[in-house]
Amino acid sequence: MAKLFEPFTIRNTTFKNRIVMAPMCMYSSHNEDGMVEDWHKIHYATRAVGQVGLIIVEATAVQPAGRISAQDLGIWSDDHVEGLAEIVRLMQQHGAKTGIQLAHAGRKATVDGDIYAPSAIAFSDSYRTPIAMTIEDIKETVQAFKEGAGRAKKAGFDVIELHAAHGYLINEFLSPLSNKRMDAYGGSAENRYRFLSEIIDEVRMVWEGPLFVRISAHDYTDGGMTARLYVEMVKWMKEQGVDLIDVSSGAVVPAAIDVFPGYQVKFSETIKEGAAITTGTVGLITTGIQAEEILQNRRADMVLLARELLRDPYWAYTAAKELRVEIESPKQYKRGWLF
């Protein structure tokens, strides 16, 4: 059996394979209320039919001001639970484990009204300048993540991922490029980590299941974070009960990035080895052979695909044929799934 299709267990939750659909915004909550719509039900269930082991639902905002766009999903209200529970049901009935990425866009939010960040610094000339968060703002946002986790539990998700990457709010606190605070939430690595630390502790009060954190392991800018610098913070995350680090990179500040197949895998290796923690890797992973190499060489423990699963919802089947592995098919498709 190829390692890609071996079952994998984290905190008493067993995934039937190591294929993960990375969270990708669908911009499809058209009433701008954060509610699940028909598109979400079809999109996510289709990847479950395609035999993806874990499907992580797109960045879901814990506060209205924390949406990347006004069409993002939300989890700031109990009213959101019913729709989220429906997509969980649709995915789980096809054998997929389900995750949700709890998020706050920070200074990269594009919704109307005030936007917030650790410091009053715009991402770029094309973005608005955010309001620097007060201590009260920070406490309210930490509480919003906790309440979002509670709602995710009610909806039946198997995994929660905290979005601490791609230049959104938690990432803005972690990086010295975007965090210029002079109080307990800025300056040293310990202080810049404090916001995420408080979120993890509060989430763990209501969530017993697998907890992932997505990080941007490299800022691609002088004075910014690197994978080696993140090792220290990841050790702290592990001590607090984080189970897996979803290792991405970039987007906290505008930067030139040399993109090539597997360009972020080296960051996963550094984090995995340096912090002795389970990792997932992302970034232009498109073939079964490529994914298998990453796993066999212990460069990561799970492989996250994004755009490739938009192009091919049945990528697991494609990869199985490539690796000459026979996998279970939906009974409705047995006549067409030939190995």
Q: Which residues are annotated as a binding site for substrate?
A: 27, 163-166
Query: CB under 8 Å to 17, separation ≥6 — which residues?
Result: 4, 5, 6, 7, 8, 51, 52, 53, 316, 327
Contact assessment for residue 137 and residue 106, using Cβ atoms and an 8 Å cutoff: no
Q: State CA 168 to chain mean position distance.
A: 12
| CA pair distance 139, 251, nearest whole angstrom | 25
Task: Return binding residues.
Answer: 27, 59, 101, 163-166, 214, 306-307
| CA pair distance 224, 257, nearest whole angstrom | 14
> Residue 98 phi/psi, 5° resolution?
-125, 140
| CA pair distance 114, 127, nearest whole angstrom | 12
Task: Return binding residues for FMN.
Answer: 59, 101, 214, 306-307
Contact assessment for residue 242 and residue 211, using Cβ atoms and an 8 Å cutoff: yes
Contact assessment for residue 318 and residue 288, using Cβ atoms and an 8 Å cutoff: yes
